[in-house]
Amino acid sequence: MEEIEAKYLDIDPEGIQKKLLATGAVKKSEVLIRQKVYDYPDWRLDKMGAWIRLRDMGSKVTLAYKQRLGMKDGVANDAGMEEIEVAVGEFEKTAMIMEKAGFGIKFYEEKKRITYTKGNIVFDIDIWPVLPPYLEIEGPSWEAIDKAAEDLGLDPQKKKILSAMQIFDIYGLREKDFLVLTFEKQVNR
């Protein structure tokens, strides 16, 4: 299933939240997300622009297969993202299953996420330990995302269709260089 979302980099979280509220968006949550990203030991998924993500959002734990579509080198916009996601019961036990099945951990990460919604549009403000904050807008169509961006005073021409890994690249970092990336510590490979 294609995930339709765009990112806007270098945002002011407080300013965006004020604009979201002014447009009638509703704050849904503010959570610390922890996630483990998996691949085969030979990183064959990575070579295809794909990965398996186990994510704990506090009240919900999910396991997802994600793959960049129309993947481009560097930081150019991709064509989109495929995502297949299921809810799972427990973060640690699911991690044990993944590791027993032979998957290796590419990295363990944390980020803070503030979520707003307006109709069928989801706005996520992501705050990572080593990146400037960015806004993710997810919706049913690219037109709906562009309209939502315009309502916030953002230029739809400046949207990025990228994975978080590509955002790291934009700032001269490599997400793959971190084995652990949390607000408390960063461990390089």
Categorize the per-residue pLDDT at 176 as very low, low, confident or very high, splitting at 50, 70 and 90. Answer: confident
What CATH superfamily is the domain 2-188? Hypothetical Protein Pfu-838710-001 (2.40.320.10)
Q: Check pLDDT > 80 for residue 1.
A: no
| Host H or E run for residue 63 | strand 61-69
pLDDT digits (tens, 9 = 90+) for 127-154: 999 999 999 999 999 999 999 999 999 9
Categorize the per-residue pLDDT at 94 as very low, low, confident or very high, splitting at 50, 70 and 90. Answer: very high
Angle, CA of 165, 67 and 9, to the nearest 5°: 35
Backbone phi and psi for residue 70, each to the nearest 5 degrees, phi listed first:
55, 45
- pTM (2 d.p.): 0.86
Q: Report how far residue 53's alpha carbon sits from residue 51's, in angstroms, rounded to the nearest whole number.
A: 6
Quote the pLDDT of residue 76: 61
Of the listed ranges 5-19, 57-71, 74-88, 134-148, the one predicted with least confidence:
74-88
Task: Give DSSP secondary structure letters for 24-51.
Answer: T-EEEEEEEEEEEEEE-TT-HHHHTTEE
